[in-house]
Amino acid sequence: MFLSKAHPLKLRSIFFFFLTPYLGLFYSSFSQADEFLDPVVVTASRIEQPLSEVLPSVTVITKEEIQRSQARSIIDLLQGEPGIEVGSNGGLGSVSSYFLRGQSSRSVAIFVDGVRVQPDGIGSLSNTSLPTPQAIDRVEILRGNSSSLYGEAAIGGVINIFTNAGLNGSPKAFGTVTYGSNKTFDTSVGESGRVNDTKFNITVNGTNSAGFMPIDHSIYQTSVTNTGMNKGEGINFGISQILNQNVEVGFREKFQDNTNLYNGINVQKYDTAVLMRTISNDTTVFAKAVVSDAWLSTIDLTKSKLDYQFTPFVPLTYDTNADTNSLNWTNTYELSKYQKASFGASLSNLSFNDGLGDLMYKKSYGFFVGDTLKWNRFDFQINARRDNIKANQPDAVIQSITPNTTSSNFGATTGLFGVGYHLTENLRLTSAVSSGFRAPAIQEFFNPYGGFNPNLTPELHHTVESGIEFKNSYTNTRLVYFNTNTKNAITPDPNSPYANINIPTVTNHGWEFSERGSWNGYRLIASFTSQNPNDQSNGQDPILRRAKQFGSIDLAKSIDVYDFGGKILSSSSRYDYDQLGNITTLSPYHIWSFYTGYKLTEEVSFRLRIENALNEKYQLAYGYNTPGRSAWLTMYYQQR
């Protein structure tokens, strides 16, 4: 058992020192709240709701916040959000992880415009295949068990990304240009609007950066020193036709191509670096129908392709690819002014080539139903879902000389029940209980070296959470306690490389604080999470790369055409494996950033950001560097 070397008192002191002076400002307002404090969200129940009426723990990153952050990737954008930790093996384009409430990246579901992002063979998600932040309109983050809404692997939560969509007004052009440290140049241009009954949007993006050396050369002294380069380009296109007042049909295309000169070792005095290329492509056709005044129905069919190309050294190239066809049918039905129901079904077929001659397949289908109800002082939410999954590997080339077929079937019924009680108009108590599951990814179940894992079973999750929320037109403040229990957690087998096993129990409990405040030109966004993720199979061992305390504070002030502010990201210590496979400690960190903006005209504005202003050296993964002090200058254009 390992004892934490975190610094909770220091972290809490920093948090409350900056937060406390402003809380009084936010608790004394009677003016009308704006969209910043109470945006409409759909992720929590699949039904549109004001954030203040949502029962599960949800936060929203708005378009304005995305621009203010000047984030270069989704992982940069999400760092510091309540309940979210990130891991990164280097800079932009490197392998990255999202930890929601202590869960692994394989237990997080990410959606882009309603389409689930394609994971790789081991269930991991590619950061480079996600849209550039400049193409994103908003992000909704749902924390906690969400299998009853979104199916398997939505355990830690859901990250729902909405890109710039076709507007109802006349076509308007927009664009951004960013230049910054490490010879980085990013650009994004597009146009969106409506012509008669046709809506469209198109965004084209490109990036080119020399980057920084991802591996700490002082630790891995044979590592290549000339790595870190990243370049990429992508397009996000959508068009839809309004056939009549009740029916709209459309088409969406997303394509992203990123190349990263990653890490490697010095072999016989020759530098060999991994050239990693990720190509992702989603093609979607969809239809929306107003069946009646109360019933809205949407159906979409998507073909997704994800291709990894690795070149450790010329001429060796190693490719893996995954193809997925998915069909989703979603409905909302307004039973009354105070009650809405949702129901639907999903079907997906995944084929995966591991690059070693093995073809693997995974088929899944699910049905879901939900209901939200407001009754007197009570709010209710109920969701239920049934999922069935079949995985098979018909031709295990490396496992045996003769072809053989191995397969397995999984099924689970999951649910959520939540209730809220309004003590006053501004103060509400909430509570929810939920269940979830994660089936083994196909390369966890089948692998060319460890063989077939017939005894591997799905992870089963159970979560209980309770919260208190205060809202008025100056603030939306929420404090949530959560307790999650995971049975049969899937983990690598320490006695058999490339194989996986189930471990009995993993637990995590703690609380999340989130604050959004707006007063007299000030804006405050703050979060703080205290948790205790543990592997119970060997006593109470901590989960690697998970901190016990972490949080962020972002305070900004607007004056006429100017705004300025600062943000601090803090985390206590975490554990990881060192180069010898022993447990080591990653030091706590406190990252300061400062920014300012200037609105030149109604259409043109500029932003400057100094990231990691104190040039603190820290690690998100052992042996891998993180960015030092960096500066970014961005010009925004939005046609009016």
Task: Report pLDDT digits (tens) over 387-424.
Answer: 999 888 776 554 444 445 577 888 999 999 999 999 99
In a domain, 620, yes or no: yes
Please report the pLDDT score of residue 518 as a whole number.
92
Tell me the β-bridge partners of 235.
204, 255
How far is CA 320 from each of CA 244, 352, 374, rounded to the nearest angstrom?
44, 8, 49
- Residue 612: band (very low, low, confident or very high) from pLDDT cuts 50, 70, 90: very high
What is the mean pLDDT of the segment spanning 559-573? Answer: 95
In a domain, 3, yes or no: no
- Residue 276: band (very low, low, confident or very high) from pLDDT cuts 50, 70, 90: confident
What is the mean pLDDT of the segment spanning 574-592? Answer: 91
Separation between Cα atoms, residue 96 and residue 260, nearest integer Å: 13
Lowest mean pLDDT among 215-224, 268-277, 471-480: 268-277
Separation between Cα atoms, residue 488 and residue 437, nearest integer Å: 10
pTM of the full structure? 0.89
Cβ contact 144:158 at 8 Å: no
Please report the pLDDT score of residue 275 as a whole number.
75
Lowest mean pLDDT among 21-25, 205-209, 213-217, 565-569: 21-25
Does residue 267 carry a pLDDT above 50?
no
Separation between Cα atoms, residue 207 and residue 213, nearest integer Å: 18
How far is CA 408 from each of CA 152, 357, 386, 452, 456, rounded to the nearest angstrom?
16, 20, 17, 10, 10
Please report the pLDDT score of residue 123 as a whole number.
58
- Write the CATH number for 348: 2.40.170.20
In a domain, 260, yes or no: yes
- Residue 4: band (very low, low, confident or very high) from pLDDT cuts 50, 70, 90: very low
In a domain, 1, yes or no: no
Q: 99 or 9: whose pLDDT is higher?
A: 99
Tell me the β-bridge partners of 281.
255, 305
Rounded percentage of the chain residues whose pLDDT exceeds 90: 53
Each residue's pLDDT tens digit, 120-146: 666 566 666 788 888 888 999 999 889
What is the mean pLDDT of the segment spanning 611-625? Answer: 92
Please report the pLDDT score of residue 225 as a whole number.
65
Which residues contact residue 582 at a Cβ distance below 8 angstroms, ignoring those fewer than 6 apart? Answer: none
Please report the pLDDT score of residue 9 as a whole number.
44
Lowest mean pLDDT among 90-99, 369-378, 559-568: 90-99
Q: How many domains does the chain have?
A: 1
Cβ contact 587:617 at 8 Å: no
Domain span including residue 162:
8-638
Please report the pLDDT score of residue 19 as a whole number.
46
Lowest mean pLDDT among 117-126, 202-211, 464-473: 117-126
State whether residue 548 is helix, strand or coil. coil
Please report the pLDDT score of residue 582 as a whole number.
87
Separation between Cα atoms, residue 539 and residue 401, nearest integer Å: 42
Please report the pLDDT score of residue 102 as a whole number.
87
What is the mean pLDDT of the segment spanning 75-80? Answer: 88
Share the mean pLDDT of the chain: 85
Burial class (CB in 10 A: 0-12, 13-18, 19+), 378: exposed
Separation between Cα atoms, residue 101 and residue 233, nearest integer Å: 32
Does residue 25 carry a pLDDT above 50?
no
Each residue's pLDDT tens digit, 280-318: 899 999 999 999 999 999 999 999 998 888 776 555 667
What is the mean pLDDT of the segment spanning 41-61? Answer: 91
Question: Of the candidates 73, 69, 50, which has an alpha carbon nearest to the alpha carbon of residue 61?
Answer: 69
What does DSSP assign to residue 425?
A: S
Q: 594 or 580: whose pLDDT is higher?
A: 594
What is the mean pLDDT of the segment spanning 355-369? Answer: 87
Separation between Cα atoms, residue 362 and residue 153, nearest integer Å: 14
Segment (H or E) for 442: helix 442-445
What is the mean pLDDT of the segment spanning 339-354? Answer: 92
Q: Give Cα 397 to chain centroid, integer Å.
A: 35
Please report the pLDDT score of residue 635 as a whole number.
97
Question: Of the candidates 535, 533, 541, 583, which has an alpha carbon nearest to the alpha carbon of residue 103?
Answer: 533
Does residue 11 carry a pLDDT above 60?
no
Each residue's pLDDT tens digit, 184-201: 999 999 999 999 999 999
What is the mean pLDDT of the segment spanning 380-388? Answer: 97
Cβ contact 121:582 at 8 Å: no
Q: Which residues of 26-47 are buried (b: 16+ CB within 10 A; e: fewer)?
A: beebeeebeebbbbebbbbbbb
Each residue's pLDDT tens digit, 545-558: 999 999 999 999 99
